[in-house]
Amino acid sequence: AEYVGQCLESLLIQTFQDFEVIVVDDCSTDNSVEIVESYRSKFNGRLRLTKTEKNSGGGGYVPRNIGFKLAHGDYVYFVDADDFLLGSALETLYTAATNNAVDVVYMSRIYELKNPNNVFAWKINQTISKTLEGEEYDKFLQELAFEDIFTYPWAYFVRREFLLQNNITFPEIMKAGDYLWAVSICCQTKKIFQLAKPLYFYNHYNPNSVSRIGSAVINHSKWIVAFADF
């Protein structure tokens, strides 16, 4: 409840507006649903809210699959409810996908919030925006295998038909669902557009996030660079 309004606000102000918002409530116990409901009119019918019958147990895999099944758009993008986007994010991602004729756009840089007043730009190796194919893409896959690139769903903007054709969904009974989903995408396509412009704000100070409860804490220090670097 503390963050979902900010997330929806960031979607509301997008420069690209031809998209739908699908919110999946996984049996929340606070007033998140009421907050989401208050945004329905602001989105003029483009926001849909659905609920699971029972809590999925964490990881977000079941809710993401539910949202994907309900989607109608040409492309699919997942946003965690405690994170948010730059106002130009969806336009930038859509333009990158269509102008470069790729099924997948991968973001190699994001913004990380250590606390509300402490923002860093976070990068993993790839620092140039370009289409990766051939030997460059083989190298990308090798880095993926060792998790030297982002494997979070929000790092990938994907054509919906590509996911349907290759039957790619999130494994719902495994802890490594995000990683396996990313691997499935990258192994099924022959090229990917690497976008080195940070568009996503990753909330790393939410003490109740899925990544902080029941999961190992990953040392991200080698990927942190000063915000001013951009």
Residue pLDDT, tens place only, 67-123: 999 999 999 999 999 999 999 999 999 999 999 999 999 999 988 887 656 565 666
12: burial class by Cβ within 10 Å (0-12, 13-18, 19+)? middle
Of 204, 102, 210, 114, nearest to 161 by C-alpha is 102
Which pLDDT value is given to residue 10? 97
CA distance 225 to 173: 35
The amino acid present at 225, given as its one-letter code, is V
Chain mean pLDDT for the chain: 86
Rounded to two decimals, the pTM is 0.86
CA distance 209 to 204: 8
Whether 143 has a pLDDT exceeding 50, the answer reads yes
- Tokens encoding 80: 């965690």
Helix, coil or strand: residue 126: coil
Residues belonging to the chain: 230
CA 192 to chain centre: 16
